Amino acid sequence: MIYFTESQKRFQTFVHDFAHNELLQGAQERAKLDHTTEEVLQKLAGAGLFSLTTPVKYGGSPRDCVSIGIAFEEVCSIDFSAFSFMLSHVLIPLMMEWADGHLRDEWLPIMGKAKKLVCFANTEPDCGSDASAIKMSAVREGDSYVINGEKTSISGGMQADAVLVTTKTDPEAGAKGVTCFFVPFSLPGISRSRFQDMGGIPSGRASITFSDVIIPVSYRIGREGEGFIKVMRSFDFARVLVILAGVGMAKQTLSEAIEYIKNRPAFGGPISRFEGVSFKLAEAATLIEATRLLCYQALKLRDENLPHTKEVAMAKWYGGTCVSSSIHELLLLFGWRGYSEKLPIEQRLRDVIGLRIGDGTGEIMKLIIAREILGSRFRPVI
């Protein structure tokens, strides 16, 4: 059992009721769309779920990290189409702490109200896990930079109005040459193309090409060379929220499976009587709860400003494995019904696979865990 504070319990009840009352109807159909609907965006914004890290002065209602995790678990248990922009609108306001005042004044209030959407772009065609190896260039020319390059596999990339993007301002400096910029998509020289994915369809995953895009210096996030550190810290937060979204889907699938096997007759009684069936429930329930504990432990450590990189990597690797295998095994209990589009489980299985890929693969997470356990002297060499 996870021991939330009274405030966190009240927030959990609020988000749970919001998701069931406002998002449940039509969620199965929305999972097949290639965008997040305006109706869902406005409902999320109206409930304050797009301003969970936005400062109060910009209209936000900032919450602790554990509460933000609760929001992802509860919302995604009902409507996964909300996930991508919920995530970016949690992470980007944190990054905007280092932005010029005019950017914060213009964008943070409208982001919280979902009047404008922003995505985050780091991955490139030949660079995913090695974030310091990006090639997109930003060359200073007077009071502006000229940006060239391509970002790929960008969640929300087709629907967003702007992007927070990583570039290289010093190609020879490795991680110390990475600099972030806030780039509106209205600028000339930007083109986008959509991926056709098996899951996470409403996220509108995209490739984004920048060709001589001119951006003022004031759109730089922090100083030159500070981007890598800022991005890595945001990844630690994102990875836990990604898995809690999967926990929500797995938890909902478990609940549906419990009711199904109680009422599905076979050989003169409900199939819940058979060990082969009941053991699948026991295993899924255990794996889901273990994942929740890993996730909330990491978020609690983050709230207390304690080291949590190892715990995050454990949650992302092992938790991702747990929730995807749980949904898979629970789907099998439903037989042909679970395999068909009649029920939402087949789509959840498609969606959860993507959560294991994005924001850090299992292999990279294992390297991080080993590095944290062994220390710098004995850590594995990639």
Tens of pLDDT along 286-310?
999 999 999 999 999 999 999 999 9
Is 380 part of any domain?
no
Q: How many domains does the chain contain in total?
A: 3
Shared-domain flag, residues 280 and 353: yes
Shared-domain flag, residues 353 and 248: yes
Neighbours of 64 (CB within 10 A): 18
Which of 85-99, 180-194, 335-349, 367-381 has the weakest average pLDDT? 367-381
Shared-domain flag, residues 165 and 178: yes
Q: How confident is the model at residue 130 (pLDDT cuts 50, 70, 90)?
A: confident
Shared-domain flag, residues 220 and 233: no
Is 379 part of any domain?
no
Would the pLDDT of 317 be above 60? Answer: yes
- Determine the pLDDT at residue 126: 84
Shared-domain flag, residues 93 and 178: no
Cβ–Cβ < 8 Å for 302, 68: no
3-state secondary structure of 3: coil
- Determine the pLDDT at residue 212: 98
Q: What are phi and psi of 103, to 5 degrees?
A: -70, -45
Cβ–Cβ < 8 Å for 235, 334: no
Tens of pLDDT along 13-71?
999 999 999 999 999 999 999 999 999 999 999 999 999 999 999 999 999 999 999 99
Tens of pLDDT along 219-240?
999 999 999 888 888 889 999 9
Shared-domain flag, residues 280 and 253: yes
Q: What are the CA-CA distances from residue 329 to residues 244, 281, 322, 332, 356 (Å)?
A: 19, 9, 11, 5, 17
HSE at residue 372, side-chain half, CA atoms within 13 A, is: 14
Query: Which CATH number characterizes residue 341's domain?
Result: 1.20.140.10
- Mean pLDDT, to the nearest integer, of 356-368? 91
- Determine the pLDDT at residue 21: 98
Q: How confident is the model at residue 187 (pLDDT cuts 50, 70, 90)?
A: very high
Of 224, 252, 287, which residue sits at a domain end?
224
Cβ–Cβ < 8 Å for 40, 207: no
- Determine the pLDDT at residue 131: 73
- Mean pLDDT, to the nearest integer, of 253-278? 95
Is 361 part of any domain?
yes
- Determine the pLDDT at residue 118: 97
**Would you list the DSSP string of 69-84?**
HHHHHHHHTT-GGGHH
Is 146 part of any domain?
yes
Cβ–Cβ < 8 Å for 231, 166: yes
- Determine the pLDDT at residue 105: 97
Would the pLDDT of 1 be above 60? Answer: no
Exposure string (b/e) for 102-127, b if CB count within 10 Å is 16 or more?
A: ebbeebbbbbbbbeebbbbbbbbeeb
Find the domain containing 209 and state its range: 118-224
